[in-house]
Amino acid sequence: MLVLGIETSCDETGIALYDSVKGLLSHALFSQIELHSTYGGVVPELASRDHVQRVIPLLNDVLAQAGVDKKAIDGIAYTAGPGLIGALLVGASFARSLAWALDKPAIAVHHMEGHLLAPLLETPTPTFPFLALLVSGGHTQLYYVRNLGEYELLGESVDDAAGEAFDKTGKLMGLSYPGGPAIAAMAEHGNPERFQFPRPMTDRPGLDFSFSGLKTAVLNTLQHESISTAMLPDIAASFQAAVIDTLLIKCRRALTQTGAKQLVVAGGVSANKQLRAQLAAMAATMDVQVYYPRPAFCTDNGAMIAFAGCLRLQQGFSTDLPIVVKPKWAMGESL
Ligand code: KG4
Ligand code: ZN
């Protein structure tokens, strides 16, 4: 089964072709980072307008790369939420129209299910059941994944997501958008022990997260008169250490609680090298295997949507003709 995947939920247009027998045939991405960087964050209307311009050239790109005609496509998967409504509507209407024109089924994919399944595109491949830590710009969640579509939410952020904390803190520090990669780069030259930022919600039981106070702690430090720009790398490193420590403490707790021996980590923040190094060290002490998507598939991409859509279509699911998108959508809740 050859499935076209279309991702337009935020500021990346991602298109890919996944074949259930041959694997991933091709993928193409256009990132709007430059477009939004002037504003220090994503401007929803600009995002939608840019997606409109990118979808057709990127589709032609992936077809040419794979050397297939669009008539060979057996199904079309698209992100139907969560995300920015205008951006979602571009991908959803494009996908639905193409599916209608080709007379092929279409399938609405949950963006976070795409992230969650992305590590299954790699080898070695995790096998069900596993624990999943999803860390993106909009979500920080721990799931116990029993099987495809059987996701038990164990904990999530009660306020800012981990990526959002990186982005907001980066903005406070005057760094370029998105803050995650910018803080990570600056932290390489900093001392993570110079500033003691809080590890929120780690001193009480449970698997929920809270990251908004961390950003305020950084703001208070930045406003202190003794702080100079030479100290910014130490602040970046100390902030990053606080986020990573918090994620690690909750992962260890969830692994112990579930007895899971496989941990899947996905979403934009899973590209963070320090997070990966420290998770590896922790996993080694617990006899746990950690799985990630390749760096290009940690952040938003079409491959994860094509893959998740293919698995769903193979299970016999498809989505009706009306174009429905959900800017807020809990995984497991019907569209
Ligand atoms: O998964 P993603 O592309 O989009 C959402 O679904 O939100 O994640 C984007 C987030 C941004 O907040 C970005 O700052 C963060 O991932 N990010 C990182 C790194 N690369 C991307 N955070 C920390 N370290 C990184 N290396
Ligand atoms: Zn994402």
Q: Which strands, in side-by-side order, build the sheet including 23-31?
A: 23-31, 12-19, 2-7, 75-81, 106-110
On whether the pTM is more than 0.75, the answer is: yes
Q: Distance from the CA of 244 to the center of ligand 1, in angstroms?
A: 14
CA of residue 193 to ligand 2 center, whole Å: 30
**pLDDT for position 72:** 98
What distance in Å separates the CA atoms of residue 8 and residue 144, rounded to the nearest whole number? 27
User: Which atom, in ligand 1's list, is nearest to the CA of 184?
Assistant: 24
Q: What is the pLDDT of residue 196?
A: 96
| Residue whose C-alpha is closest to residue 303's, from 74, 9, 71, 29 | 29
**What's the rounded mean pLDDT across residues 34-49?**
96
For residue 161, which atom of ligand 1 is closest to its CA?
12
Ligand 2 centroid to residue 263 C-alpha, Å: 19
Looking at residue 212, what is its pLDDT?
95
At 231 the pLDDT is 97
pLDDT category at 225 given cuts 50, 70, 90 is confident
Q: Ligand 1 centre and the CA of 14: distance in Å? A: 15
Residue 282 region by backbone torsions, left for phi larger than 0, else alpha for psi between -120 and 50, else beta: alpha
Atom of ligand 1 nearest to the CA of 178: 14
Q: Which of the listed residues 211, 269, 272, 275 should we mutate to test ligand 1's pocket, taking the one with most ligand atoms within 8 A of CB?
A: 269
Q: Per residue in 257-307, pLDDT tens?
A: 999 999 999 999 999 999 999 999 999 999 999 999 999 999 999 999 999
C-alpha to C-alpha distance for 184 and 233, rounded to whole angstroms: 9
Residue nearest to atom 14 of ligand 1 (CA): 180
C-alpha neighbours within 13 Å on the C-beta side of residue 24: 22
Which tens digits make up the pLDDT trace of 162-185? Answer: 999 999 999 999 999 999 999 999
- Ligand 2 centre from 195 Cα, in Å? 30
pLDDT in tens, 62-105: 999 999 999 999 999 999 999 999 999 999 999 999 999 999 99
- Taking the CA of residue 167 as reference, the ligand 1 atom at the shortest distance is 14
How high is the pLDDT of residue 96?
A: 98
Give the position, in ligand 1's atom list, of the atom nearest the Cα of 275.
24
- With tokens 């970046």, the residue in question is 236
Cα–Cα nearest to 6, from 95, 138, 68: 95
Measured in angstroms, how far is the CA atom of residue 130 from the centroid of ligand 2?
20
Residue 262: the pLDDT is 98
Name the closest-CA residue to atom 26, ligand 1: 272
C-alpha of residue 126 to centroid of ligand 1, in Å: 22
Q: Which of 307, 243, 11, 265 is nearest to 135 (CA)?
A: 265
Q: Report the DSSP pairing between strands 75-81 and 2-7.
A: parallel
Q: At what angle do helices 44-66 and 85-102 cross, to 10 degrees?
A: 30
Q: Which residues contact 154 (CB under 8 A, 6 or more apart)?
A: 131, 142, 143, 144, 207, 254, 257, 258
**Integer Cα distance of 42 and 218 in angstroms:** 22
Q: Is 282 exposed, middle or buried (0-12, 13-18, 19+ CB in 10 A)?
A: middle
> pLDDT, tens digit, for every residue of 138-167?
999 999 999 999 999 999 999 999 999 999
- Lining residues, ligand 1, CB within 6 Å: 10, 136-138, 163-164, 166-167, 178-181, 184, 267-269, 271-272, 299-300
pLDDT band at 310 (very low <50, low <70, confident <90, very high): very high
